[in-house]
Amino acid sequence: MRILQAVGISSAWAIGAGSVADVYSVEERGKPLSLYFAGSFTGPMFGPVVAGYLVERWDWPSVFWLLFVIGCLLLLMVVFLMEETYRDEGRWNKAENVVKKDEPINPLASLSLLRHPFVLISATATGLAFGGMFAVENMLPPLYTHTYGMSPGLIGLSFFSPGLGEIVGSILCGYFSHYFLHRAIAKRGYPLPEDRLFILLWPAAFILNPLAFFLWGWPVQLNWSSWVSIIMFGVETFAMVFIFNPALAYLVDAVPGRGASVTAAANLVRMIWSCVLSLIANPMTNAVGPGWVTFLFGIMNFAWAFLLLYVKVRGPMMRPEKP
């Protein structure tokens, strides 16, 4: 049932960014994309809080009943309120990117985009940042229960920190993405997809993200105050957004006319990393402690940031004319 649930939610993850690309031109889509991502990150802020107290009051099945009701409401909204956003590509992007009407539909075509290094590197950057965060979310409940004696309700409240980091990060990221893109247009006369990988991404990728991973696991392992790790989790998600949002926005711009396809390909890579890191996180925590586990996550993110920087510098030469 969890697999079926994931299949259902994957449509929103893949099509959402493509829909934003349909509605907004390259010069204007930075802020809408960040608002879309902020909406996606709102759930991790409020969901654990509500779920924690539902579990305390009515046990764990109550969480799934609530999700069932929300899912039914969302289905009705999608069917009756959501409009089609498919647009005339000739007005927005190069005419050669228009998909011919007689072309057969290939559900696996998006995976072929991963053969391009700039797509794979960017997708993996989002996967390591998001997957590390996802793994910490799985590590957190048992560690906070055993180390700090927190109840499910208090554990849920602790998720306000990462949720706030994600939402604030998304809003600021959208503003800066818009600002730096238009600054580049003013200097160069036209935009490049690499302009999405703006200057504030690099302090997040090389400093804040790995450092926050280090300072989440070790304080828990050393039994420091829970506030240290709670605050650091918020810092980590804030930094994650400054990697996640620009990298995905870059891919949408770098593969014109195939925003949904390249997002789907990036989602596959990201979710594979989320699965792998979540699977190893708790067994490794039991073996060596959370400090070394999050140290590994931080080192992986730090090392991959150099490849993302390579895409920033060499991206125009790496991108084929027709992906």
186 versus 17: which is more confidently predicted? 186
Answer yes or no: is 94 within a domain.
no
Answer yes or no: is 49 within a domain.
yes
Using pLDDT thresholds of 50, 70 and 90, give the confidence band for residue 323. Answer: low
Contact assessment for residue 236 and residue 213, using Cβ atoms and an 8 Å cutoff: yes
Using pLDDT thresholds of 50, 70 and 90, give the confidence band for residue 89. Answer: low
Average pLDDT on 264-293 reads: 93
- Residue 277 pLDDT > 50: yes
Average pLDDT on 133-138 reads: 91
Q: Which structural domain, as residue segments, surrounds residue 46? A: 2-85+111-316
91 versus 228: which is more confidently predicted? 228
We report the CATH number of the domain holding residue 57 as 1.20.1250.20
pLDDT tens per residue across span 150-183: 988 888 889 889 989 988 998 898 889 889 988 9
Q: What is the mean pLDDT of the chain?
A: 86
- Minimum mean pLDDT range among 33-47, 57-71, 83-97: 83-97
pLDDT tens per residue across span 284-293: 999 999 999 9
Average pLDDT on 53-77 reads: 90
- Residue 315 pLDDT > 80: yes
Using pLDDT thresholds of 50, 70 and 90, give the confidence band for residue 86. Answer: low
Percent of the residues in the chain that have a pLDDT greater than 70, as a whole number: 93
pLDDT of residue 13: 75
Using pLDDT thresholds of 50, 70 and 90, give the confidence band for residue 101. Answer: very low
pLDDT of residue 18: 73
- Residue 91 pLDDT > 60: no
Answer yes or no: is 238 within a domain.
yes
Using pLDDT thresholds of 50, 70 and 90, give the confidence band for residue 90. Answer: low
If one counts the domains in the chain, the total is 1
Answer yes or no: is 105 within a domain.
no
Answer yes or no: is 102 within a domain.
no
123 versus 21: which is more confidently predicted? 123
Predicted TM-score (pTM) of this structure: 0.83
How many C-beta neighbours within 10 Å does residue 25 have?
11
- Residue 249 pLDDT > 90: no
Percent of the residues in the chain that have a pLDDT greater than 90, as a whole number: 44
Answer yes or no: is 56 within a domain.
yes
Answer yes or no: is 278 within a domain.
yes
Answer yes or no: is 163 within a domain.
yes
- Residue 203 pLDDT > 70: yes
- Residue 97 pLDDT > 70: no
Contact assessment for residue 142 and residue 20, using Cβ atoms and an 8 Å cutoff: no
